[in-house]
Structure 1
């Protein structure tokens, strides 16, 4: 890893959409960034692949042993199970809040913005997400738009795996500029 490269936390728990971790992670690594899988527990986290459980991924750091100050940016993959489980974990919400308060870049796709809502970070933002989060984001004070990718300040959001090319491009661009 180069001395000036970025360090990116990828916050997940079991049930994240596999492609929404793998493709952005690969794009970030190809751009010379270090990616760290952060989870509430140690060991492995299990992905979700459309309709069933997928691959297992090694956890690099637990929420209990890491600090947002150790990272330059945050990636929040979706899947329904993953962000729904994270948003009820105080340490996960506090971890996300730390990035928001420090004005570090955050990228969230699909259901990933649920965690941003819980962290109180959606108000006044222009965002997109999986369509079922439209009212959740609006109720949290965000302006929801139906676009493949939305960049609003230090946030990048996308709707679904079909948006990954645009999401990865804009995530890399934003994270490199941080």
Structure 2
């Protein structure tokens, strides 16, 4: 199994550290992907401690087959989603939003959105319309404006979408993702 986690500056370090340890324990390969802006590699700083993380894999280079190779794609907490919402042309959805919308078109790929990660989908609200979700309290209006159905729980599962309230619940969120992936593997 393979999981992709979107990356940008202002990521929440404890969350990413937890994913690295926890997914490795389950023999799940973890890739960090970002928008590289034509560079071969970029460095990003964390929000809590200012720790640096380098990334050399662009989601813009991923083909549909590459996306389907992932068991799950995670939009983490922190300000990653907000930073990835930038688009050069305001008439076109941001590349990261288009990437995630492509992932949503593949039911076999689990999507994980935690905390402020839902911000990434505001340019394409129809992707989340009618889906049960939780998010950080600051995003309740955004969820409702996108037509998502807010559920007041730490982690919510709606078919192939798992949402988490905040980075503080990343352990529960990761556990739910792993459980879902292992269940799907056993059933196939």
Output the aligned Cα RMSD. Answer: 1.8
Equivalent position of 1:153 in the other structure: 159
- Does residue 102 of structure 2 align to residue 98 of structure 1? yes
The alpha carbon displacement at 1:117 in A equals 3.6
- Higher percent of residues as strand: 1
Task: Report if aligned partners of 2:6, 2:80 keep a CA contact under 8 Å in 1.
Answer: no
Matched, 1:56 2:62: no
User: Do structure 1's residue 134 and structure 2's residue 140 form an aligned pair?
Assistant: yes
The equivalent of 1:125 in structure 2 is 131
1:83 matched to which residue of 2? Answer: 81
Task: Please give the alpha-carbon distance, in whole angstroms, between the structure 2 residues aligned to 1:64 and 1:151.
Answer: 27
8 Å CA contact 1:96–1:119 kept in 2: the answer is no
Question: Where do 5+ consecutive residues of structure 2 fail to align?
Answer: 88-93
Shift of 1:119: 4.0
Instruction: State the SS of the aligned residue for 1:84.
Output: helix
Quick one: distance in 2 between partners of 1:175 and 1:45? 29
What is the rounded CA distance, in whole Å, between the counterparts of 1:83 and 1:58 in structure 2?
A: 17
Q: Is the 8 A contact 2:60 2:99 kept in 1?
A: no
- Once residues 9 and 138 of structure 1 are traced to their aligned partners in structure 2, the CA distance between those partners, rounded to angstroms, is 27
Please report the TM-score for the alignment, with normalisation by the length of structure 2. Answer: 0.82
Pairs aligned (count): 169
Please identify, of 84-93 and 163-172, the stretch whose mean Cα deviation from structure 2 is larger. 84-93
**Bigger radius of gyration:** 2
Calculate the TM-score normalised by the size of structure 1. Answer: 0.86
For structure 1, the residue ranges without an aligned partner over 5 or more in a row are 1-5
Q: Distance in 1 between matches of 2:29 and 2:129?
A: 30
- CA distance change for structure 1 residues 97 and 161 in 2, over 3 Å: closer, same or farther? same
